[in-house]
Amino acid sequence: MSDIGNSNRITREYIDSLLIETRYMDSANPDPAFTLYGETFSSPIMTAALSHLKPRLGEDAPLALANGAKAADTVLWYGMAEEDEIESLSKTGVRMIEIIKPYADRDLIFKKLETAEKLHHLAAGIDIDHPFAEDGSPDDIEGFKMAPLSTAELAEFCKSTKLPLIIKGVLSLRDAERCLAAGAKGLVLSHHNNRIEYAIPPLAVLPEIAELVSGEIPLFVDCEIKTGMDAFKALALGAAGVCIGRPLMGAIRENGADGVRDYLLKANNELKKAMAYTGCYNLKKMDPTVIRRL
């Protein structure tokens, strides 16, 4: 089966086309310490907002992801789940960002935001790129209908919670401008694992969205982020942090929470190497001019 137009392949090829300049003069030992919404972590490399892990990897998979992220001293992003599963993850003590689907029942979004606030999540978010099914009709996930959000609705969600509200699924200046106007406190640049074919790679649109937000809110990147070098390229181009998804599913299969921890720590060490070799030795020293494209 041809993968022409597959957005994952296009994204992977784009990331691999980005090269780095080495800049050894006046560099220093790297420090990837990462501050997000007033809290500091060891790394800007976080988990992606995975969901439906139990049927794919077993009953213990969600807790393995959470405990692995906690052991690596980084942030757990998590996706669609029942309230009891979210509560069990929160009880591990990991700092957590829950991404909520664009439910057609808007009251359900408000309820989930209220629960996230009660559980003292680090932040919450809404996934704007999942309202439509493959044929463009309203999506239906586990019996829940989805619907696209308006800018006005998004503004109401932002106002309804004390938590920073992050919008996931942004891949254009147009959407970024509207999310910013609505009061979003973070954006995730993502095509949601080839949700639509021929999607622009997140790193391709990252510089112009970074220019738009001008440091006002953090930008995050997922899709095909697999290594510390991938993370470095995103950070250099303007991301505040990155999210690794599917590789962590493999890590859970192989060694549970320890596998997640080890994968994240290895990626962080790869990031530190890239930072040291380019003079970008802390996250405030990131410089997009170290990136060249073939």
Task: Give the mean model confidence (pLDDT) for residues 181-196.
Answer: 96
Q: What is the mean predicted confidence (pLDDT) over 204-208?
A: 98
Q: What is the mean pLDDT of residues 9-32?
A: 97
* 192 catalytic per annotation: yes
Of the residues 121, 130, 191, 192, only one is catalytic, namely 192
pLDDT at 2: 65
Tally of CA atoms within 13 A in the half-sphere of 274 that contains its CB: 24
Output the pLDDT for position 191.
Answer: 96
Distance CA(240)–CA(186), nearest Å, equals 10
Q: How confident is the model at residue 294 (pLDDT cuts 50, 70, 90)?
A: confident
Cβ atoms of 229 and 270 within 8 Å: the answer is yes
1 pLDDT higher than 60:
no
Sequence-distant (≥ 6) Cβ neighbours of residue 38 within 8 angstroms:
none
Tokens standing for residue 234: 């995103």
Q: pLDDT tens across 232-266, in order? A: 999 999 999 999 999 999 999 999 999 999 999 99
Three state DSSP letters for the chain: CCCCCCHHHHHHHHHHHEEECCCCCCCCCCECCEEECCEEECCCEEECCECCHHHHHCCCHHHHHHHHHHHCCCCEEECCCCHHHHHHHHCCCCCEEEEECCECCHHHHHHHHHHHHHCCCCEEEEECCCCECCCCCECEECCEEECCCCHHHHHHHHHHCCCCEEEEEECCHHHHHHHHHHCCCEEEECCCCCCCCCCCCHHHHHHHHHHHHCCCCCEEECCCCCCHHHHHHHHHCCCCEEEECHHHHHHHHHHHHHHHHHHHHHHHHHHHHHHHHHCCCEHHHCCHHHEEEC
Domain boundaries 7-285, CATH class: alpha beta
pLDDT digits (tens, 9 = 90+) for 97-138: 999 999 999 999 999 999 999 999 999 999 999 999 999 999
Tokens representing residue 139 in the block: 């999506």
> Could you tell me if 109 and 159 are in contact, meaning their C-beta atoms sit under 8 angstroms apart?
no
Q: Which of 19, 24, 21, 70 is nearest to 43 (CA)?
A: 70
In this prediction, residue 212 carries a pLDDT of 97
Phi, psi of 150, rounded to the nearest 5 degrees: -90, 160
Average pLDDT, the chain: 97
Task: Write out pLDDT tens, residues 138-149.
Answer: 999 999 999 999
Domain ranges of the chain: 7-285
Count other Cβ atoms within 10 Å, centred on residue 187: 29
Query: What pTM does this model have?
Result: 0.96
pLDDT of residue 3: 87
Structure-token pair, residue 280: 């970008």
Rounded Cα distance between 230 and 50, Å, is: 19
What is the average per-residue pLDDT within 212-234?
A: 97
The distance from CA 214 to its chain's CA centroid, rounded to whole angstroms, is: 19
Which residues are bridge partners to 189 per DSSP? 170, 221
